[in-house]
Amino acid sequence: MYLAEETIRGRKHYIIRDSLYNPDTNCWQSRDLFDLGRSPWNYIVYPGGNAFYIEESVSEKLSFHGIAHDTCELEELFWRFIRKEIRQKIEQFYCRGRKTRPKTKKKNLDAQQVQVIDKRRVYYLRCGVVDQSRIGRLPIRYFKELLNKSRDEIEQYILQLEKNLHPREYKQYVYVIFDLQRYFKASPARSIPQALDQDELDRYFIMDLCRLHKDESFWAGFGEREDLHGYLVRYAVMFFDYEFDGGSAWEEYLQNFINSRRFYSPPTPQTRIAITEIVEIFGETEENLKAMNKNELTKLFRQKAHELHPDKGGEHDSFVRLAEAYKQLLRQKS
């Protein structure tokens, strides 16, 4: 079982669901078990002290559907809604984290279940990995949480993980999970999305988003729909309503890009680019550069990157030097 969240008329709605394997369609499908409405905490009873239990009506409805469950499994679904002070007192010795009853397995379903974009999302959300070039070499057990689940359960699982993302990561996250850099293989700036042609990047994202929306194998178990699926709408919001941020992950990726330019000798780690050179590179005064926030600096970097872009006749060394100066300024603003 799992607890699903849906936004209906702008408000959260909660439903207990489970995933069942359908041999006729050769895929896992979800089904509703109990509609908790907008206030699942109303089903939690507090008899006194630090004790609590879930209303008997929930257990009865699950039993009606033939769902075998124990007290811990049921309370696990409601854990986030239990009063904070009680959670803090009992969390260390409570039965959370115990091994749940294994589901009946369906052989040879691994390849079908683990979609590439699912791997990319989990890899990023677990480890914050921007460079996912080695993702194809990771063993299937690394993604065991994605196996033998319906598409809905997978999306709900990832949705909970995504709640730990900082808004400044949103656009970076979408860029990585859709592997948008593959469209810019000829560009030395593909590892620095801030420097790419943003209109072109937008077109590729929309193309991939629509392709995923129409992918029948990805949405196995779901009915067809013409409007963009709710589970994809959030990625459109992350991509178009936010800007790239120069966080530590991009700094590392940027450094890998700089080091990969074999014809260029980067400064040693102990050597900093002089402020006079940075002023010359960006064409701004030292005072203006210091006064800029990260978004303003990124906007300036994007403008200068287009001017120095090797794909547009710029010099490789100048472009890499710009990237190095940008990285140094970002570090100072962290």
**Model confidence over 130-166: pLDDT tens digits?**
889 889 899 988 999 999 999 999 999 999 999 999 9
State the average pLDDT over residues 53-67.
93
pLDDT at position 253 is 57
Query: pLDDT (tens digit, 9 = 90+) per residue, 253-269?
Result: 556 655 655 444 444 44
Q: Token pair for residue 57?
A: 């009506």
In this structure, the answer to whether residues 224 and 319 fall within a common structural domain is no
Beta-carbon contacts of 220 under 8 Å, excluding residues fewer than 6 positions away, are 25, 27, 28, 112, 151
Task: Tell me whether residue 97 is in a domain.
Answer: no
In this structure, the answer to whether residues 181 and 86 fall within a common structural domain is no
This prediction's pTM: 0.75
pLDDT band at 83; cut points 50, 70, 90 = very high
Single-letter residue type at 307? E
In this structure, the answer to whether residues 71 and 44 fall within a common structural domain is yes
In this structure, the answer to whether residues 16 and 131 fall within a common structural domain is no
pLDDT band at 116; cut points 50, 70, 90 = very high
Q: Highest-confidence range of 54-68, 175-189, 272-286, by mean pLDDT?
A: 54-68
pLDDT band at 91; cut points 50, 70, 90 = confident
**Would you say 198 and 205 are in contact if contact means Cβ atoms under 8 Å apart?**
no
pLDDT band at 234; cut points 50, 70, 90 = very high
Task: Tell me whether residue 102 is in a domain.
Answer: no
Q: What CATH number is given to the structural domain containing 292? A: 1.10.287.110
pLDDT at position 264 is 46
Single-letter residue type at 3? L
State the average pLDDT over residues 104-109.
50
In this structure, the answer to whether residues 134 and 184 fall within a common structural domain is yes
Q: Highest-confidence range of 44-53, 180-189, 224-233, by mean pLDDT?
A: 44-53
In this structure, the answer to whether residues 73 and 149 fall within a common structural domain is no
CA distance 118 to 161: 12
Q: What is the largest CA-CA distance in the chain?
A: 74
Task: Tell me whether residue 96 is in a domain.
Answer: no
Task: Tell me whether residue 65 is in a domain.
Answer: yes
pLDDT at position 265 is 47
Task: Tell me whether residue 209 is in a domain.
Answer: yes
Which residue range(s) make up the domain with 291? 251-333
- Within 10 A of 165 (CB to CB), how many other CB atoms are there? 15
User: CA of 290: how far to CAs of 129, 257, 300, 329, 330, in Å?
Assistant: 30, 25, 13, 9, 11
In this structure, the answer to whether residues 217 and 311 fall within a common structural domain is no
Query: pLDDT (tens digit, 9 = 90+) per residue, 291-322?
Result: 888 878 888 887 777 777 555 566 667 777 88
Task: Tell me whether residue 147 is in a domain.
Answer: yes
Of 240, 266, 287, which one is at a domain's C-terminal end? Answer: 240
In this structure, the answer to whether residues 262 and 226 fall within a common structural domain is no
Task: Tell me whether residue 18 is in a domain.
Answer: yes
Of 207, 240, 273, which one is at a domain's C-terminal end? Answer: 240
Q: Token pair for residue 7?
A: 């936004």
pLDDT at position 272 is 78
In this structure, the answer to whether residues 46 and 145 fall within a common structural domain is no
CA distance 266 to 317: 10
Q: How many domains does the chain have?
A: 3
In this structure, the answer to whether residues 301 and 216 fall within a common structural domain is no
Is pLDDT at 191 greater than 80 in this prediction?
no
pLDDT band at 108; cut points 50, 70, 90 = very low
Q: Highest-confidence range of 11-20, 218-227, 270-279, by mean pLDDT?
A: 11-20
Of 179, 207, 240, which one is at a domain's C-terminal end? Answer: 240
Is pLDDT at 121 greater than 90 in this prediction?
yes
Mean pLDDT of all residues belonging to the chain: 84
Task: Tell me whether residue 178 is in a domain.
Answer: yes
